[in-house]
Amino acid sequence: MPIKDLRDKKCLLTGAASGIGEATALLAASKGAEVFLTDINAEGLADTARRIEAAGGKVGVAKAIDVADHDAVKTLGDEIHAAHGSMDVVMNIAGISTWGTVQNLEHEHWRQLVEINLMGPIHVIETFIPPMAAAGRGGHLVNVSSAAGLFGLPWHAAYSATKFGVRGISEVLRFDLREHGIGVSLVCPGAVKTPLVGTVQIVGVDREDPRVQKMVGRFERRAVRPEQVAEAIVAGVEKNRYMVYSSPDIRFGHFVQRKFELPYAIAMRALNSRISALAKKL
């Protein structure tokens, strides 16, 4: 039973304090959903909830937790299910980003990314999807991966490990959950104008170097607004669409990757060589 629209649906969103999560929470609430919000940033989360309620939207719960903390997610789930019942839509949006070569990345970088970007969605899925399935009303699961969950981008090994993992989970669940009428959307944004762009850690690189600033500036000029990604996410839910792209360049790149492996490999090698050459000059 696909979700035709979000009106009167109960929708859980992680990462709701800023960026894509905030924009999606605002959009879902404007479409009539009762939203259940979480983020590690308590102040930003409270601001999102206030904005929704000021616009006439309904916030069921807004509670700050770390999705990497399994016990915290389970406690949140128990509280929500006891007071409100099962969700109709679950959106895994929270995430962080760290880039760097394998020579520069330290073990803690890998572990932190895995705990937040991969185990976080797993904690949410195992807490909220079984009750959704048991309720028998159908529903929808949204997992936000990344263009780095599709392509072998330079210096993204640790980040891509988590985003390819989210992609793998989604690929399985799109079939496993079908018998319960639960749709699955895998969202693969490219560049997005969020606070993450300005704070992303590039290990072994001075972010203040003018050449790095110039590279980041080019990235930002190609970036789409969080509201555009939010619109794509909601459309993906309402149309029961599995692959959700934030921009035409990611859609085209994924097409080329699947249909023309050699040109894709050549392009990735050229991009890697260009980034590596820049790094040696820093």
Contact in structure between 135 and 86 (CB atoms under 8 Å): yes
Contact in structure between 91 and 14 (CB atoms under 8 Å): yes
List of residues 6+ apart from 130 with CB closer than 8 A:
none
Q: Is 159 a catalytic residue?
A: yes
- How many Å from the N-terminal Cα to the C-terminal Cα in the chain? 54
List of residues 6+ apart from 249 with CB closer than 8 A:
190, 222
Give the angle subtended at the CA of 5 by the CAs of 17 and 26, to the nearest 5°.
20
CA dist 34 and 143 (Å) reads 19
List of residues 6+ apart from 49 with CB closer than 8 A:
37, 59, 62
Q: At 159, which amino acid appears?
A: Y
Catalytic residue among 159, 242, 245, 264: 159
The residues annotated as belonging to the active site are: 159
